[in-house]
Amino acid sequence: MLFKVSSGEKVVESVDPKLWHDPWCDDVARQQLSLVYHEFSQWITERSVAPFEVFLELVEHAMKVTAPPLTILEVGCGVGHYGHLLDMEYATPPSYLGVDVSEAMIESGDRGFPHVRKIVSDGERLPEQHDNSHDLVVLGSCLNHTPDWMRMLETAKRVSRKWIMLHRMPMLKSGGTVLVEKDGYGHRMAERHFSEPDFPFHEVGTVREIKTWSHSGNQFQASYLLEV
């Protein structure tokens, strides 16, 4: 059974720590793979999947000012579908490696996109062998789902040679950052909605590109390309 990607949001003062980790199970991974299959079908016929379009625009910006080949590490890669998107769009795609803390996501991705390189690893604690190893580090909708998001940002900065992309960030135009409990794919989970005015972009690097979509009241989705 497929559930809504996101529903039942409720702002809370604190969350059960288990809600950061427990939801990323086989069922959620299976549903995410089904969702991205649908998105790829829509992309092929209509070219109208906003996160895909934004991701490619920011990758293209980085490629124009970085010596080839561009190397990409995606933290929180899920099933690895952005690696597949790069393979679809480029005759000679950038070098891509996806990492995700969820074994279920990587296993589901290996079934759906076996050609895409991806491994199980904790994006908050990538080993030193990854230091200064990739031109572009993508944090794809994972800062909002990790308890120690500042540590993840610091790790991304340590690993990146030049660029960090904060992709598909749930942002607020005003007010402070809030904690949210919600149902994701039918499983209760924790999420963080970031205050754009308060976000410490300056501690990461210089913002070079901003793309926004899905504006609704005080909320919107955004992706940022930062030069570190």
- Residues 139, 133 contacting (CB under 8 angstroms): no
Mean pLDDT of the chain: 94
Query: What topology does CATH give the domain 7-227?
Result: Rossmann fold (3.40.50)
* Cα-trace Rg, the chain: 17
Per-domain boundaries in the chain: 7-227
Report whether pLDDT(2) > 60: no
Kindly report, residue by residue over 182-227, the tens digit of the pLDDT: 998 889 999 999 999 999 999 999 999 999 999 999 999 999 999 9
> Average pLDDT of 3-29?
88
> H helices then E strands: how many in the chain?
6, 10
In DSSP notation, 56-125 reads: HHHHHHHHHTSPSSPEEEEET-TTTHHHHHHHHH-SSPPEEEEEES-HHHHHHHHHH-TTS-EEE--TTS
Kindly report, residue by residue over 28-65, the tens digit of the pLDDT: 999 999 999 999 999 999 999 999 999 999 999 999 99
pLDDT at position 129 is 67
Give 173's DSSP letter: S
